[in-house]
Structure 1
Amino acid sequence: MRCCRVVMAVECLLLLALVAALPRAAVAREYAAIFNFGDSLVDAGNLVVNGIPDYLATAKLPYGQTYFGYPTGRCSDGRLVIDFIAQELGLPLLPPSKARNATFHRGANFAITGATSLDTPFFQERGLGQTVWNSGSLHTQIKWFQDMKPSICNSTQECRDLFRRSLFIVGEFGGNDYNSPLFAFRPLEEVYTFIPHVVDSIGKGVEKLIAEGAVDLVVPGVLPIGCFPVYLSIFRKQPEMYGPKSGCIKEMNTLSWVHNVALQRKIVELRARHPGVRIIYADYYTPAIQFVLHAEKWGFLRQTPRACCGAPGVGEYNFNLTSKCGEPGAYSCEDPSNHWSWDGIHLTEASYGHIARGWLYGPFADPPIIGDRQQQS
């Protein structure tokens, strides 16, 4: 009898150990699909599905070199946040929604480089039609999603059942909206007037997806643009305008921060309006700031914000508008994994991996995608 009790005890311990290892896999089975919307931070190839324009350096090596070994249309050396999330949840990498001969029953990526939250007429009315390159706004992408429904489900009810079991990632949106007036050198005060419009548009997009049946949505904020080599190179400031520890342009980061605060307020409103829906705020800003201030903690080199892939230009940022990554004269650093900035505009695969884990398990999401679900189960 004593021997049996010992065996049973050992079996119980083994069972407990097995159960302790299950949450990630258990959560992975909860999502039937992922539907992703956004801009170049998460574009998996929609911009190049019909061929690569000669001017498009982001679809040429060394883009894609780290993970895929070839350019895929992703604006990084490898995987993006959405790729890491799909893999962690046990789902395939999402095919670009415009891909031919692809199956979308496990999800689709509608993101496209240059996307804005607002539609093109908003910019044209403000004399900014030439400074926005909008290849598919948030609401255009949602229309692509709606047009896709007949190919992935056979009835309205079947679609709603699928969407209730799916994860929707809505963004990041806003970066290109603000780039339009910023790169036209409009006053910063004017740029701030865009924030309510951008955030309201994101909120309307979220509600469109909720109306389609989405109950699990991730809504990311924007990056601290003042830390990125493209802005540091273009917008030269007086010494007091830079963060003493970060080297970032303070007023640019404040713009990003104000957007993110407004977006979080909008999410609070949406949660109150849709109590049966889980809406997660996903933070790009905090991890990017940490990559700059605490580089060693994340495995990055402690240095001035600097692009891994680029060419010498103004300052120490390895960013040159006439020799951007993928163009003649540009080169890639030996080890992208120890850089957080890939091309001065986008992040490295290593950075995206850290951010994805922070969204999935905390602390870079409110609530975490998986951590919160584990507590509920």
Structure 2
Amino acid sequence: MRVLIAPDSFSGTLTATEAAETIAAGWRDHAPHDELTVLPLSDGGPGFLEVVHGALGGDLVSVSVSDPLGRTVPGAFLLRDEGGRRTAYVEAAQACGLHLLEEGEQDPAVTSTYGVGELLAAAVDAGATRIVVGLGGSGTNDGGAGALAALGAGDAYALGRGGVALAALTDDDLAGLEQVRQRFGEIELVLACDVDIALLGFHGASASYAAGKGATPEVAQQLEAALGHFTDVASRVVQVSTDLLSGEARRLEREPGAGADGGLGFGLMLLGGRYRSGVGTVLETVGFDRLLSTQHLLLTGEGTFDWQSLRGKVVAGVAALALEHAVPTVVVAGQCSIGRRETMAHGISGTYAVARSPDEVLTALADPVGTLRSLARRVAVTWSV
């Protein structure tokens, strides 16, 4: 039996590579003669760079950048010559990821994407004319203002203090934005986003994800208002491209992906960035469709399989392609909160959770490798033939 093992990371416990290898080990415990293909994946969030580098090779360029609270952390970007152009692959989470913060430090009111701008500046300085930025897993909600500050778009103090501070932004604070836009005018900027949400509204960045980054409901409302003010200021300072149908200026805050990474998508769209599905980008890069066509079973997974998993995440992306190839999809996850009717509608044949109770969650966190390996072994008992 040929099994393709292609999970995302199990956030906070295992990288995608670690998760894939652990699942494979558990499967082999029961079915050692099955032919396994291990393929770690990413939706643009943490692990994006590792997955792309593993698939494409290229040169990893090390840099030092700022984390969400301004501390220096190691980072890197991937540099490759592709079709006569120099392409850089950047993982935003290396600079603004939630995993860089201790639980008591998580506060999207003050965290900043400044380090992402430093990564982009380094890629440009290295000669990149095409930059693919993986967006996902951030601990920030500043609309990309910090990243713009690092690139020279305006006052670093006004732009780099987190989302809530943007409520006091003035037009003068973005005085350098047009110059930065011109600098990026010759650069193709691809935004490989983990979600397709807009910046504002009931399904926007603040309403949907700020709480998971440490915000109270009151702070989430403050962030929503501050980002709304930020978009107003930005729209006065620069003239974005015109919508071909309406003839009016595009409202970037309404674009799919503008709300990705706490609005970092919006900030990069001000520089000409274009949304693309993060998982779609990764699947194309690793040649997933070609690999899948030869398999009997697809085994995927992530830390928490919930409603967000069905909106641009790895599980939904691979399950859709598996359905086209008539390959059954099985999901293994730390926790599952989606019913069978919903999973079947997305072509998923089975779901299995490491933890189904609070006590089991604690056990899984204490031994993520052992518990996931044990689950994979039980799945193999059911599915290996």
Q: TM-score, normalised by structure 2?
A: 0.32
Q: TM-score, normalised by structure 1?
A: 0.33
